[in-house]
Structure 1
Amino acid sequence: FLTAFDMPVPFQAMGRRNVTNVPAQALVLMNDPFVAEQATLWARRVLADASTAPETRIAGMYRDAFARDPTNDELAAARAFVETQTAAHGGSFASDQRQETAWADLAHALFNAKEFIFVP
């Protein structure tokens, strides 16, 4: 997984690490089973408190991922995304186990956001 992100060789001294931005990195973040598993685990953590409103969950995810609250547009887009994904997976947004998959899809999307990948 980390070889796509220029992981250094652990037994070799290196004064300066290589820095690359290649398509393989984006493909790893989109398709690697480890990333998908982490998105699912994040979704489970977010859904653990059943009394939490979707907007509160989304705001918490943005704080975790980007250390900031979402804008109103981001909040609305994320809410619509989760609703659409829940319906696409054949579930009901209000009360269905397939919500987890939809929230994992949102987590996966946040993992792939430029703001998450690149540190300013």
Structure 2
Amino acid sequence: MGVGQLDSWESRSSTSPSKAHNHRTRERAVHQKLKLSEYGLFDVETGDKIVSETEEEVCAQLGLPCVAPTLREDRGEIEAGLRVELPAPITESDLRTPIPTSPSGSPRRPRFTRTSTWGVTR
């Protein structure tokens, strides 16, 4: 496998988190008499390359939604995408929480108390 552009199909297909998702995508290509490999999408009869530059091009040609890498697990994400029901992927900003502050606006310091029996196995 060669080194593709960062946004190329080759790069995407080799780094997708789920082998099962890639297999399902390739099955969809076979049903359309196409061949999907890490090098692009090809016509089975002529061997001509149809698309290979970007993930969006490959998915559009197959009539599939572009599924975020974090959702590629072959757990119905392709079908959900076809129904336009894919959830938005979780982003780093979703994970951030505000720093607790006191009424005066200064950051609160956590209060730790020592418990003599907590975590002790007998």
Tell me if TM exceeds 0.5: no
Which of the pair is proportionally richer in helix? 1
Higher RCO structure, 1 or 2 (CA under 8 Å, sep 6+): 1
Which one has a bigger Cα radius of gyration?
2
Q: Larger % of strand: which?
A: 2
